[in-house]
Amino acid sequence: MTLRDELLKSIWHAFTALDVDKSGKVSKSQLKAKDNFDRQDFNKMCWTLCFRKNLGQKKLFISNDDAFKIWCIFNFLCEDRYPLVIVTEEIEYFLRKLTEAMGGSWVEERFEDLKLELSSKQQCLNVWELITLVGSGQFSKGMDQPTLSMGISEVYQELILDVLKQGYMMKKGHKRKNWTERWFVLKPGFISYYVGEDLAEKKGDIPLDGSCSVESLQDKEGKKCLFLIKSSHKSFEISASDKKKKQEWIQAIQMCVNLLRLSRPAPHHEARQKRRDLRLRQQAEQEELELRMRELQTANEAKQSELENMRKALEEAAANAAEEEKKRLLTHTELQDRYRTELEREKMVRQQMEEQVAQKSTELEQYLQRVQELEDMYHKLEEALEEERRARQDEETVRKLQGRLLEEEAEKRAELEQIHLRQQRAISETEAEKQELEKERLAKESALQAAMKQLEELEQERQGALEQYQTVMKKLEDATNNTKSWKHKVAQQEGMLRLIQPGSKGPQNITNWGPAAFSDVELNLREKQWQEMKNQAAQAQ
């Protein structure tokens, strides 16, 4: 994310607060320009413009400064779309880091309850809802307000101020070569050291670039756990409190140098980008899966429609065939009736003709003519029978066509069943892929929890080492004070018990106690003691 994108988020909060009538416009009289631009001052100004309107008189468990820090953390973790919201994964990341910074233990059940509440809000929160959530103390039960404020500040320094590591160490001076305890703050581009951890008085910076190096040194001058930082201009000798702190600082500084060589951002910036890329990939995979399901559903619907059309066509063909069969049967019945009637009439005619032949031989010609007519009718009857035969052949052809259509329907049904089986296999493969992705996610979560547990153990060991170091320093300071007191008493006693000896014939030394109050040896000893006390006072400053 560029500086421009981060500043636009702060500006969006300020303009949203000033846009009272929600018209998308803000008058020039409500805006003020600053000549000397500072990112923290800029964020503070935008916060001042918007927090009163949105927080109002809400009673929270945190101070206004802590709310401002949460506001800055929200701008860092929220999505790059407007209106600005923070998704569930980033809320869990922030709350986990806050719980770790307070020294508490993460309670998964509380966050699961919060997830259920967020499901009705599209699984995201705006900045004021996040501030209210932290300020309500829901995830800091059992912690007092200073502990919560310290945790918020630690997360703010890491995510917003890019503080990668900080702590007390001894630094060797370049001019007087004395060792002085300083509070060191490591950032991606430099190391700053201060008089104390309140950062009130800054003593200097150690610039870092790709050409810098850090190496371990042997113990010398009574100092242990030494290491050397070589920059492009100077080298700095540093003494850590123990070997563990020494190794942690060497690794942290080497990591910064490697990042500068590779032109890569700070670890938390890179981790945020990786989380966003993972969410985008998961969203794309989900959309692709939904698209594939829609395509399969569309194809299934198309196949169903095609089968329905085929079924309707078959039903229409069967109805047409039944109608044709009915017509054919009706025509055949009519022909049979007609033929029967003709036969009966022919019999009657023949009987009449036989009677007439017997009776009237003169009507032979008429009879022959009638026979000719009957023969013609017989030919017509044969033609009718031929037409009936052809109709039966047509009926057989229709039946064969109907059988072929039924076979095609069976083949289509078999093909549909194959398509359905392929759909079932595709759905099973999709379910298997989902289960595999879920297993990978659970494995990553377990690995993350193990890493978090190791970090908590390391933090506890660091606290124990710091307490031991403070105890040793207290004992050393008491021993030093006792030694100074005894040396002073011994010096006073030696001055009081000096033996009276014959005076020297040489020139006498004149002191504040009179002539010849001290010898040359005693005077040199007094000068050395005075010079040592002066050096110790300078080192203490």
With cut-offs at 50, 70 and 90, classify the pLDDT of residue 34. very low
The predicted pLDDT at position 181 comes to 92
Identify the band that residue 226 occupies on the pLDDT scale cut at 50, 70 and 90: very high
Task: Indicate whether 405 pLDDT > 60.
Answer: yes
- Other Cβ atoms closer than 10 A to 236: 17
Higher pLDDT, 473 or 15: 473
* 369: enclosing H helix or E strand: helix 364-496
Type of residue at 333: T
* Highest mean pLDDT pick, 48-57, 76-85, 251-260, 347-356: 251-260
Separation in Å, CA 161 to CA 36, 185, 341, 489: 19, 11, 116, 52
d(CA 343, CA 348) in angstroms, rounded, equals: 9
pLDDT at residue 35 is higher than 50: no
Contact in structure between 156 and 72 (CB atoms under 8 Å)? yes
User: Which of 95-99, 253-257, 402-406, 470-474 has the highest average model confidence (pLDDT)?
Assistant: 253-257
Q: Please give the order of strands across the beta sheet that includes 202-207.
A: 202-207, 190-194, 179-187, 165-172, 235-239, 226-230, 213-216
Please, are residues 412 and 309 in contact by the beta-carbon 8 Å criterion?
Answer: no
- CATH numbers and ranges of domains, the chain: 1-23+37-162 (no CATH), 164-265 (2.30.29.30)
Tell me, what's the pLDDT at 377? 87
CB 169 within 8 A of CB 240: yes
- Report pLDDT digits (tens) over 83-113: 888 888 888 888 888 888 888 777 777 777 7
**Tens-digit pLDDT profile for residues 473-508:** 888 888 778 777 766 666 666 555 444 455 555 555
Which pLDDT score is estimated for 366? Answer: 77
**Cβ atoms within 10 A of the Cβ of 308, count?**
10
Average pLDDT, the chain: 81
CA distance 477 to 497: 30
Alpha-carbon distances of 468 from 329, 450, 473, 475, rounded to whole Å:
115, 27, 9, 11
Q: How far apart are CA 429 and CA 289, in angstroms?
A: 12
Better pLDDT: 507 or 439: 439
| Cis amide linkage into residue 267, ω under 30° from 0 | no
Classify residue 135 by burial, with Cβ atoms within 10 Å: 0-12, 13-18, 19+: buried
Cβ atoms within 10 A of the Cβ of 166, count? 18
Of the ranges 138-142, 231-235, 354-358, 517-521, the best mean pLDDT one = 231-235
- From residue 444, alpha-carbon distances to 67, 77, 294, 414, 437 in Å are 32, 21, 31, 45, 11
Proportion of the chain above pLDDT 90, given as a percent: 8
pLDDT band at 78 (very low <50, low <70, confident <90, very high): confident
